[in-house]
Structure 1
Amino acid sequence: MDAPMTSGSVHPAVLLLELGHRARQAQTVQELEFLLVNDTRLLLPYRQAVWWTQEGGVQTLSGVVQPDSNAPYAQWAVQVCRHMAQHQPRLGVFTAADVPLDLAAQWSQWWSAHALWLPVSQPTPGATPGETVSAGLLVVGAEPFPADRLPVLGEWCSIWGHAWWALQRRRMASPRQWWTHLRQQQAQAAWWRRPVLWAVAAAAVLAVWPVHLTVLAPGELVAAQPAVLRAPMDGVVEQIHVQPSEMVKQGQLLFNLDEAQLASRLEVSEQALQTAEAEYRQFAQLALGDARSKSQLAALAGKIGERRAEQAFLAEQRQRAQVLAPHDGMVLFDAPSEWMGKPVQTGERVMRIAQPDAVEVEAWLPIGDAIPLQMGARVQLYLAADPLAAVQAQVRYVAYDAVARPDGQYAYRVRAELLQPGKLRIGLKGTAKLQGEKVSLAYWMVRKPWASIRQWVAL
C-alpha cells in the first residue's frame, strides 16, 4: 500500500500527482468514489464530503462505509446537490444564503457554515465546460476555503472524473445500466439535440422506405427456342456424325441408329412379298380353267397388299433411323463417345439445334423464395465467368408447378429474355437476381426470418 501523506509540508502539485496515481490504480467505481470523499483531504481540509450523482443520488459519504439513501440527511443533501447542479455548473463556494429557504432552514442542523461545490461533467464532444453536469462532490468545512487551492481542486476533479467515466463506460455492458444512462443523457438535452429521437425517426423512415423484393436463384444461359431431336424409335445409337457446338446445315446427317435388325426384317419382308406375288401369278393362271383357284385370288391379292405395307413401313423405319438436321444452327449435346452404343427409347432426347444468337436466361426459383414475379420483371444474371458485369433480362414466363432439379430439390423454372442480345455462349452458369414488386424495407428484412418461424410456430 502507498505510504500515508500529509498536506502540511508537501506542495499541492505533488499531492495532485499522488491522488492522480491512486485514481488510475482504482479497479472499481466504489474504490474510486471512496478515494474521492476521503483522500481529497490531502488537498483541502474539510469536515464532511458528499458524492452525488443525478442517476443514483448520494452515492458515498466521507467516513461512512454504506450510506442510507432513505436517511433524512441523505435526502436533504440530494436536494442541495441537485440545486447546485442546476444553478452553479462550475466550481465555487456557497453558503446557506445561496440555496432555497426550505433547504437553508436545515443547514445548521447538518452542516457547518462554509461549503464548496465541485461539479463533475460528462466529457461530451462539442459541449461547453459544465454544460452536462450529472454528478458532483460537495465538501463542508467550518473555515472559509483558501482561494489558492480551488484551481488545484478543479484539476483534481477533472482527473478523477476522467477515471470515473472510464470505469462507468466499462460498466455499460449491463442493458439496464445502459438504458438508465441513455435516459439520463436524453433528459439533459433539448429534444432536437437528442440522438435517440433522431435515431428513432431515421429507423422509422428506413422501415417504410420502398425497396424491390429480390431473391437469388441459380441461373444459366440457355437456347431460346431450340429444336429438340429425339430418338425416332427404340434402338441403339450407332454413330454420331457431328461434334458438340458444331454449326450444321439443314438436311445434314446428325446421327443414326443401328440398322442391322431393320435391314434383316426388311429383307425378310421383301422375300415374303416376292413369294406372295409368285403365288398370286400361279393361281391367276390356274383360274383360267379352274373355278376353285379363281376364288382364292382375292385372298392372295390382300396378302400381297399386306406384304407391301410391311415392306414400306420397314423401309420408312430404316430411313428414320438416320436423323437429319431440320434447319441450320448449332448442335448441342454431350460428348459423342457417351452416346455411341447407348440404347435409347422412342422420344428420348439426344441433341438440340439452336441459333447462336437466340439466347435467354433460365433460373430455378426455390420454393422458399417464390416471390410474386410479373411478366417483364427485371432479372440480372451474374455469370461465374464474369461476376462484375450483369446480364440484363426480363421475365418471359414462370412455371406454374415446381419440378425436381438434378440435385433433387424442387424449384420453379423461370425464363427471361435478354434486353441486349450479345455474343454470349450458351451454357454459362451463374447467379440470377430476380426483382419483384416494391415493399417496405422492414418487410424485406423480416420476410425470410418470419417465414422460417411460421414453419414451427402457430399463431
Structure 2
Amino acid sequence: MNAAISPQSANPAMLLLELGHRARAARSNAELRFLLVNDSRLLVPYRQACLWLDNDGVTALSGVVETDRNTPYAQWLHEVCRFLHAKQSVQLQCIGPTQLPPELASSWNEWLGPYAVWVPLLQDAKTPASCGGLLLSGTQLIEDQRIPLLVEWSHIWLHAYTALQAGQPRLWRKLTVSRVATKNWWRKKPVWIIGGLIALSAVPVHMSVLAPGELVAAQPVVLRAPLDGVIDQVHVQPNQMVSKGERLFGLDEAQISSRLEVAKQALLTAEAEYRQSAQLALGDARSKAQLAALVGRIGEKRAEVQYLSDQRDRSRVLAPEDGMVLFDSPTEWLGKPVQTGERVMRIARPDEVEIEAWVPIGDAIPLTQGSPVKLYLAANPMAALEGRLRYMAYDASAKPDGSYAYRVRASMPFNKDEARIGLKGTAKLQGDWVPLVYWVLRKPWAVLRQFFAW
C-alpha cells in the first residue's frame, strides 16, 4: 500500500484506497491540506488545485509548501471560491468564466485553465452543509466515471481532517478551574496585579513619534543659474553675510561678450548705411525707397544689442536680499557647467530657523497645526529645541536617501546659542492623548495586521 502507484495502470478503487491510507497516516492539518491539493492527481488530472475553507479562506495551493494569501493569485482565488461557496451547492460542479461575475471572469484566462470543477466539502451526509471546497483546474476535462471517486475522496479527506482536529488538545482543555468558590478573592495578590495593570493601561499619555530632524532656514531664497553656461567666478564664501545687490557668482561671459561686440558693429554699420541712403535720397528715388528697410534693420540690430546686454547682466548674479549665503565650497563650482534653473546657492536669514522632520509612512500619526515638536540635536542630546507644528505634508515625498516619508515643518523661536542651520538630530512629535495600552500596542498590532492580513 505504501509503494508508488501509477494512475494510468492502477485500478481507480486502489487509488482511492491509497489516498485514504495516506489521509489516515497524516499527523497534522498542514500535511492533510498538502495531501489534498497535490496527491489528488492519482484520481483525476489537473494543473492547479486550491483548498478553500469558509472559516480560513485559501489554506492550501498545489505546488507550494506555504501559501501566501497576499498575492494577487491567492486573492482572486479567494473571491472565486467564496462566490461558489455562497451558492450552497452540495453537488460537484463543472464551472467556467461564464458562471462568475464579470469582475472575476475577466481574469479567468490569466490564472486558470479552460476546465475547472468545484468539489464542495460536506460536513454531514444527512443534513449536508458545505464548510468549504476544493477547486481543480486543468487543460483536460475530467471523465464522468472519475467524478464519484473524486466526491468520495473529498468525504474521506474531510472525515480525516475533522477527526485530526478533534483529537488535538486545546488550551481550554488544559486549564482546570476549581468549582469551590474562593472566599475574599479580591485579597489575592494576582487580582491586585491584574487590577493594577488594567489601571496602568488606562493612564492617558501623548501619542508621539520619533523622526530624523534638522534645523533649516525658514524662508530661504534659492538662487539658480539664469542661463546655460559655465560658472567663471564665485565672489563669496560659504556662510558669508551679504547685502542686497552684492555680487555672488557669475557665468563665463566670453561668448556673450563676443556676440555683443559683433551686434554693436552690425548696428554701427546699419546706421552708417542709413545716413548714406538718407543723403542720396534727396536726389535718388531708389535710395529713398530703401530708407524704410534700413530703419527696420537698425531697429533689429538695436534689439539684438539690448538682448545680449541683458544676457550679460543676467550672467552676473546679485543678492536679492540681505542674509547668509549657503552653498558648497567655491572650488566645487568654479568651471562647472550648469543648466538654466539649476540650484547653485541659497540665501537665508540666520535668525529665521525652522525644524524640518521626515516622518516615516508607518509612523504617520494624526497631528494638528500647533502640536508640540521637540528636536534633540546630536551635538547636544540632553537639551531639546522646542517648536510648534506649522504643517505636515499630505503626500509622501522622496527623502535625500531615496526612501519616502512625510515632510514636517515646525516654527520655533530663535536661539542664538544652539539654533544653527544644518544641525541634525531626532525630532519628537506629540499628538493627541491616548491610553497607555494603545501607545504600547500600536506598532506591534500594526505589524501583526500586516503579517496576518486581518
TM class, shorter-length = 0.5 to 0.7
CA distance, structure 2, for counterparts of residue 293 and residue 365 of structure 1: 77
Q: 1:130-165 CA deviation, whole Å, 9 max, x = no partner?
A: xxxxxxxxxxxxxxxxxxxxxxxxxxxxxxxxxxxx
* Residues 149-228 of structure 1: pairs in structure 2 closer than 5 A: 190-228=184-222
Residues 1:448 and 2:451 aligned together: no
CA distance, structure 1, for counterparts of residue 286 and residue 263 of structure 2: 28
Residues 1:296 and 2:290 aligned together: yes
Unaligned runs of 5+ in 2: 1-170
Give the aligned partner of residue 337 of structure 1.
331
Q: Which amino acid aligns with 1:434?
A: L
Give the aligned partner of residue 436 of structure 1.
431
| Matching residue within 425, 434, 438 for 2:420 | 425
CA distance, structure 2, for counterparts of residue 385 and residue 244 of structure 1: 21
Instruction: Name the CA shift for 1:241/1:187 in 2 (closer, same or farther; >3 Å).
Output: farther
CA distance, structure 2, for counterparts of residue 450 and residue 196 of structure 1: 26
Q: 1:254-311 CA deviation, whole Å, 9 max, x = no partner?
A: 1111111111111111111111111212222222122222222112111111111111
Q: Secondary structure of the residue that 1:267 maps to in structure 2?
A: helix
Instruction: Name the CA shift for 1:189/1:331 in 2 (closer, same or farther; >3 Å).
Output: farther
Give 1:450 shift: 2.3
Q: 1:47-85 CA deviation, whole Å, 9 max, x = no partner?
A: xxxxxxxxxxxxxxxxxxxxxxxxxxxxxxxxxxxxxxx
Q: Which amino acid aligns with 1:454?
A: R
Residues 1:384 and 2:375 aligned together: no
Q: Secondary structure of the residue that 2:367 maps to in structure 1?
A: coil
Residues 1:245 and 2:239 aligned together: yes
Q: Which amino acid aligns with 2:365?
A: I
Instruction: Name the CA shift for 1:335/1:420 in 2 (closer, same or farther; >3 Å).
Output: closer
Q: Secondary structure of the residue that 2:382 maps to in structure 1?
A: strand
CA distance, structure 2, for counterparts of residue 400 and residue 392 of structure 1: 23
| TM-score of the superposed pair, with normalisation by structure 1 | 0.58
Q: 1:401-456 CA deviation, whole Å, 9 max, x = no partner?
A: 21111111011111101146333211000010111112222221222122223334
Q: Is the 2:353–2:414 Cα contact (8 Å) retained in structure 1?
A: no
Identity rate of aligned residues, in percent?
65
Q: Which amino acid aligns with 2:377?
A: L
Give 1:236 shift: 0.9
Give 1:221 shift: 0.5
| TM-score of the superposed pair, with normalisation by structure 2 | 0.59
CA distance, structure 1, for counterparts of residue 331 and residue 181 of structure 2: 81
CA distance, structure 2, for counterparts of residue 189 and residue 336 of structure 1: 84
* Residues 20-419 of structure 1: pairs in structure 2 closer than 5 A: 190-419=184-413
Deviating more after overlay: 193-202 vs 389-398: 193-202
Report the structure number with the largest CA radius of gyration. Answer: 1
Q: Secondary structure of the residue that 2:440 maps to in structure 1?
A: helix
Instruction: Name the CA shift for 1:419/1:328 in 2 (closer, same or farther; >3 Å).
Output: closer
CA distance, structure 2, for counterparts of residue 263 and residue 420 of structure 1: 46
Q: 1:207-253 CA deviation, whole Å, 9 max, x = no partner?
A: 22221111111101011111211111111111111111111122211
Alignment size in residue pairs: 282
Structure 1 segments, 4+ long, off by >6 Å, are 186-189
Give the aligned partner of residue 89 of structure 2.
none
Q: Is the 2:351–2:414 Cα contact (8 Å) retained in structure 1?
A: no
Q: Secondary structure of the residue that 2:416 maps to in structure 1?
A: coil
Q: Is the 2:374–2:384 Cα contact (8 Å) retained in structure 1?
A: yes
Q: Secondary structure of the residue that 1:200 maps to in structure 2?
A: helix
Q: Is the 1:392–1:420 Cα contact (8 Å) retained in structure 2?
A: no
Q: Secondary structure of the residue that 1:387 maps to in structure 2?
A: coil
Q: Is the 1:374–1:436 Cα contact (8 Å) retained in structure 2?
A: yes
Give the aligned partner of residue 108 of structure 1.
none
